[in-house]
């Protein structure tokens, strides 16, 4: 996983780019990592036996986004924005290096994982580039209004 800061910045920039409510897009950018509740069970040494795995698949994310969107008056727009954010998450995760496996795009029809294997999850340069991108965005905005 890239770190959450990178995911959030990617979601924020995407929200700004499509000129929509960034707050919902940013929440969507972390949505697939609801799966990280797993870490709590790992810490407690409780074997969840893959129970939470579907939360980090497109179908699981769509269902979670659908549930959250029901908490908004404009639920269709909220659902769309949550999915836009989640898409940025999967896009970034897609480039991570692993020895095998990857994102189960077609779960539950297929358990095959897909991955491009390009960037190490320990690579902090991705975060630095994301932070620079957000700084450039603010500078560009400031000077374009001046």
Partner 1 sequence: MDGGKERDRRIKMRKTVALVSISILLLLMTYSYIEHDEKDPDMAYIIKNFEKFEGKKVDFAGRFVSCNGSVTKLKLMEPPYCIVNVTGKILNVSLHKGDVVEVLGIMQEPHKIKAEKIYVIKSFEYSLIFIRSLPAIPFVAYLFFRKWKFNFKKFIFEERDHA
Chain residues binding partner 1 by CB under 8 A are 1, 3-8, 21-23, 26-27, 30, 42, 45, 47-55, 59-60, 63-64, 66-67, 70-73, 75, 97-101, 107-108, 111, 120-124, 127
CB nearer to partner 1: give 19 or 146: 19
**Which two tokens mark 47?**
């074997």
Q: For 120, which DSSP code?
A: -
- At closest approach, how far in Å is the CB of 21 from partner 1? 8
Torsion angle of the four alpha carbons 46, 51, 52, 58, in this order, in degrees rounded to the nearest 10: 160
- At closest approach, how far in Å is the CB of 95 from partner 1? 14
Report the alpha-carbon distance of residue 34 to residue 112 in Å, rounded.
21
Report the alpha-carbon distance of residue 120 to residue 68 in Å, rounded.
31
CB nearer to partner 1: give 42 or 135: 42
- At closest approach, how far in Å is the CB of 18 from partner 1? 16
| The residue to which tokens 């909220």 are assigned | 78
CB nearer to partner 1: give 51 or 136: 51
CB nearer to partner 1: give 27 or 87: 27
Torsion angle of the four alpha carbons 74, 76, 82, 83, in this order, in degrees rounded to the nearest 10: -170
- At closest approach, how far in Å is the CB of 54 from partner 1? 4
């Amino acid at each position: 996983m890239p770190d959450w800061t990178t995911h959030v910045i990617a979601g924020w920039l995407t929200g700004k780019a499509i000129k929509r409510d960034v707050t919902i897009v940013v929440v969507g950018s972390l949505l697939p990592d609801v799966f990280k509740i797993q870490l709590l069970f790992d810490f407690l040494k409780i074997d969840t036996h893959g129970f939470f795995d579907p939360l980090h698949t497109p179908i699981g994310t769509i269902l979670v986004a659908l549930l959250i969107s029901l908490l908004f008056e404009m639920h269709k727009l909220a659902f769309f924005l949550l999915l836009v954010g989640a898409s940025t998450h999967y896009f970034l995760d897609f480039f991570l290096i692993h020895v095998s496996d990857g994102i189960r795009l077609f779960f539950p029809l297929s358990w095959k994982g897909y991955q491009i294997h390009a960037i190490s999850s320990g690579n902090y340069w991705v975060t630095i580039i994301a932070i620079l991108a957000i700084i450039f965005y603010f500078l560009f905005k400031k000077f374009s209004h001046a």
